[in-house]
Structure 1
């Protein structure tokens, strides 16, 4: 068999392996981004031996450093190392689409949940959102704000998010946190430096970085001067995806400012969808597909879901591709790590602000609501119950409350 044909067959076999591996992960990876990284390690590093433990740890460190959905970025890079750019796209699609399809089914059938029991079910989903966001704030605060300097940065971000309850306030909090981190976090110990085995040509990396910043700067101007709802929708979700530091839950306040405050999605539908996304496997960013399906005015439905899904994932993938060739040198710079520590502390504050409004104020309407949300939080934190089970139990509790 000619060498060229042999290489083509081997590449096709890699693509098939990537698809089957990530489809399995997309159907079974419950528990959020940190759990996803564990699933990836077990399936792709330990069992399939796609890369070494050290290389995988280096890759995870990079994806936690740059904005974007960390678990999806790790999956994208694993696909890239195994099957090139096509392999990376296959990995992303296979991991993402199962939860997207489930959320689209929910978006199209949610209108049928009428009557007391149906409304109780929706209210239960809103209550579980309280527990899930509280769990995220609790875990992120312990990891990202372990000292008084970073705790103070987080509180400052809460104040800015409260008194400037817009996207501008959230962006300002992240920028302020980064600047404060350069000063207050400069004496933190440097993270261990290593070597990243996933490589891209620097020309592609520079193109990706330029594309990221051009879109981030140009899209707001285009949306402001255009009457196109498609452009406005793409810009809002691209901006949200570009500013997500510290985990997928941080996208909640960014999207709330973009779609609820503008009147595109009502608060009840927003919180119900956020509750449902906790019960499906795969990345939390697929929440964007649900919002794109229910948003008004058009485009919505499947087209709206596609627009929002591409827009929210694109910036994180562009940043990942842009940083890959420079990562080994970048993470040795103390200032870069200090600034990122401050930014991560700030996003804890932003998420804490969102825990109160809209999550708490939209769901906790009476003492029984508080009791159910507290019970769900305890199941997640103390009993380590799977999120999908907590979602189901809380939704049933909401139906029970509707009968009282």
Structure 2
């Protein structure tokens, strides 16, 4: 709510004491959202960010309306500004009504304020005891001084209670990068050595964040070459000059180390991802929705397989999104490391790649149409579930993006 919002709702002599809002919309404006500036307010805290001992509201002061938000701008007692919509106002109390030049008096105007205080040093350096001199006698002035024991601060009692990690960390393995000592600890006896190595390698092997970091290592260069070869084999793009009036979207490399179950490195994965957040709706994409398997369906299928002793097969499709056909006219910048003779060319995408807003939708359309052409039937309860055959000779296929679960009572099926 801005100043223009308020001005358009104020009566004007030029409009026969009608507001511009009333003259335009032929109805009275709504003033229920207007509050008294500087009044006391209770802003409700978010339920997801509090526990049972947290306060349900924050004591604050109403200071105005934020631009671009449908809410109230408040100032709380911790000296910070925030915006909230769920606010209860006390328009008869004004915490800053008394003018004062000191900050402490301003804080005193708030009700129930707890002012923090500074604790003195409870363990100062003790003064050394005086060394008595057998040849000297105490003077009158020295007799007035307190004894050395009175100058010493009381010593703090150190707790003898044993400390241990919180109970909620019992199900987790922390700091396994130094797994040499963790393997022999009593806390790790329940896990196998390959499993601990797997966790340690996940944490220890660095993954580059940018192209200039990955290009220094041969394993990452090989991974990028394999990704580019896969895209060329599937004819993901065509190199063309950028047409007049068209724009390109960017792309970047994403790097991931794939580990085996025993912790050894399986392969180095480099994936070229389009910067889909630069796409324009209606130009670069239209529909983006793609059905995903419901968690209930996954549980039911696995439960039936366990009860009836069905055969299960899990698989994923390599570079699944590269199989989806792209219907829109989308142009992308040349990826880093891709060498061409003409630097003025761009990539016109023929296939959907990772990062595009419509990538998952195009892949599911391609995959589901291929299943339907091969006599699979799509469930109306969950569009990610497909069946093939009847009776005892039936196959259930459940797809979650590019991960697929196959279940059947017949191994041949």
More helix by share: 1
TM-score (norm 2): 0.18
Higher relative contact order (CA 8 A, sep 6+): 1
TM-score (norm 1): 0.19
More strand by share: 2
